């Protein structure tokens, strides 16, 4: 093996040179793949950045029909006419794709667990911007409250 005019004789030296060639090749390929990925991937920039901007513009927003979020949105200052209910993730997607000018919505407000499920299904098109209000979480009610409480307190 010859390298820049000098001959490499020992087996250890040859092994070291081959190892370095391999490492440089891997690093170069990795860098090229990362750069190609960055340049070709679609970057999502949210058109809506806060609940305040939606209120100021009077935009239509969506909420799950059977959710407590309707009350929270009303408390925040949204009018009933700007609140559009949806029944499923597919309905929400359709309303968001329509946009507010065609009878759709600019943003959707959901509980975080449901929002994560929605984003898992439609992750290429949407992203979560902020959590406008915090709630304590989910509660569970049983028709057999006494039995449940006795078991839970033991």
| Least confident residue range of 3-7, 47-51, 69-73, 109-113 | 3-7
- Residue 55, burial from CB neighbour count under 10 angstroms (0-12, 13-18, 19+): middle
**Quick one: 113 and 77 in the same domain?**
yes
Position 61 in a domain: yes
**Quick one: 36 and 57 in the same domain?**
no
**Quick one: 32 and 71 in the same domain?**
no
128/111 Cα distance (integer angstroms): 11
Q: pTM here? A: 0.58
Q: What is the pLDDT of residues 79-103, one digit of tens each?
A: 999 999 999 999 999 999 998 889 8
Once rounded to an integer, what is the mean pLDDT over residues 21-50?
A: 81
With a cut of 60, say whether residue 68 has pLDDT above it. Answer: yes
Position 104 in a domain: yes
């Amino acid at each position: 093996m010859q390298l820049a005019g000098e001959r490499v004789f020992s087996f250890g030296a040859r092994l070291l040179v081959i190892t370095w060639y391999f490492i440089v090749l891997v690093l170069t390929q990795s860098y090229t793949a990362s750069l190609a990925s960055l340049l070709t991937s679609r970057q999502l920039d949210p058109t809506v950045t806060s609940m305040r901007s939606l209120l100021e513009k009077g935009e239509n927003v969506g909420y799950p029909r059977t959710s407590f979020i309707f009350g929270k949105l009303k408390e925040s200052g949204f009018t009933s006419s700007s609140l559009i209910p949806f029944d499923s993730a597919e309905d929400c997607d359709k309303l968001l794709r329509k946009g507010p000018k065609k009878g759709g919505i600019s943003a959707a407000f959901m509980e975080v667990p449901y929002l994560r499920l929605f984003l898992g299904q439609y992750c290429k098109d949407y992203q979560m911007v902020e959590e406008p209000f915090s709630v304590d979480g989910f509660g569970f009610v049983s028709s057999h409250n006494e039995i449940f409480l006795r078991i839970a307190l033991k």
